[in-house]
Amino acid sequence: MKRILLLLCIFTLLFTACMSQPEPEPQPTAHKLTISDAPCVVQKDFSNYGITIEDDGDTIWLYATDATFTKVFCAVYISVSGGLKNVEAFIVHNAALKKVGLYLGDQFCAVIDFHSKKACARSGLGSSSAAWGNISFTWDNALEHGLEP
């Protein structure tokens, strides 16, 4: 009986130790954008959702869409002089957090959080569909969490 209790205590301690280990942070992946000329449209799907980037050389819009690019949830305005062809640009995605960010130069200029139905842009401008409701596009550093390298 003492052996069974001892084994049960050891099992409980091991189980508790394993359960208290923090899960590793989900890692983002970066996809380099190669823009040769404007106007251009870039689409990228991430299984259950996608993004579309439109660049006419003066105005850039980042759209949060479904995976087939037929339903738009929100549109974020990005202000970049001369468009994307003059800037090193990356789409950064974190599948576990369902976040996508557009990284230009040395900072994120827009972030879309599909899980929370939030988006922000350094410009502070955008529009959203009824499915996402009335959201603010004011820059929020907290939305970058999980997208940083």
pLDDT digits (tens, 9 = 90+) for 121-140: 999 999 999 889 888 899 99
**Domain annotation covers residue 14:** no
- Amino acid 142: pLDDT: 94
Which range marks the domain in which residue 123 is found? 26-144
With b for 16 or more beta-carbon neighbours within 10 A and e for fewer, the 104-129 pattern comes to: beeebbbbbbbeebbbbbbbeebebe
Closest CA to 94 of 116, 69, 123: 116
Token pair, residue 33, equals 């954008």
- Residues 73-128 have pLDDT tens digits of 999 998 877 777 778 889 999 999 999 999 988 899 999 999 999 999 999 999 99
- Amino acid 39: pLDDT: 84
**Domain annotation covers residue 112:** yes
Does residue 5 or residue 96 have the better pLDDT?
A: 96
Residue 5 has pLDDT above 80, yes or no: no
**Domain annotation covers residue 3:** no
**Domain annotation covers residue 105:** yes
Residue 15 has pLDDT above 60, yes or no: no
Residue 66 has pLDDT above 90, yes or no: yes
Residue 25 has pLDDT above 80, yes or no: no
**Domain annotation covers residue 92:** yes
**Domain annotation covers residue 52:** yes
Indicate the number of domains in the chain: 1
Query: What share of the chain in percent tops pLDDT 90?
Result: 48
**Domain annotation covers residue 128:** yes
- Amino acid 30: pLDDT: 92
Using CA atoms, how far residue 11 sits from 4, 8, 19, 22, 119, in Å, is 10, 5, 12, 19, 45
15-24, 46-55, 104-113: segment of lowest average pLDDT: 15-24
CB 115 within 8 A of CB 97: yes
Q: What is the pTM of this model?
A: 0.79
**Domain annotation covers residue 12:** no
